[in-house]
Amino acid sequence: EDQVTQSPEALRLQEGESSSLNCSYTVSGLRGLFWYRQDPGKGPEFLFTLYSAGEEKEKERLKATLTKKESFLHITAPKPEDSATYLCAVQLTGGGNKLTFGTGTQLKVEL
């Protein structure tokens, strides 16, 4: 069975304290891995898509990487406005646009 596991479930950081979020997956055939950010009461906001092991993408303080078994979302010098739930999702070969989501990491960045 295809599975996506995110860790940690929750993370509290001080402003400026860099860290990484993990998304590990066990799937039959990976087409792409997606990262989203979701604020309370809102829809997920697209961040990155990664397609092959070794691929990296960056956006402001965020950098996503992909291996054959997991993906990391690195947050460098976070600010309070980075507080949100970060969701990882996989798209499978032959699965159309269907995304299978992990349960998310709730990030809180404090002053």
CB atoms within 10 A of CB 9: 9
Residue type, 43: G
| Rounded CA separation 65/53 (Å) | 8
Give the binding site for other proteins (CB under 8 A).
Answer: 31-32, 34, 36, 41-46, 49, 51, 87, 89, 91, 94-104
**Min dist. Cβ of residue 33 to other proteins (A):** 12
Question: Nearer Cβ to other proteins, position 18 or 93?
Answer: 93
Question: Nearer Cβ to other proteins, position 83 or 100?
Answer: 100
Question: Nearer Cβ to other proteins, position 13 or 99?
Answer: 99
Q: Is 82 helix (H, G, I), strand (E, B) or coil?
A: helix
**Min dist. Cβ of residue 21 to other proteins (A):** 16
Exposure of 5 in the CB half-sphere (CA atoms within 13 A): 7
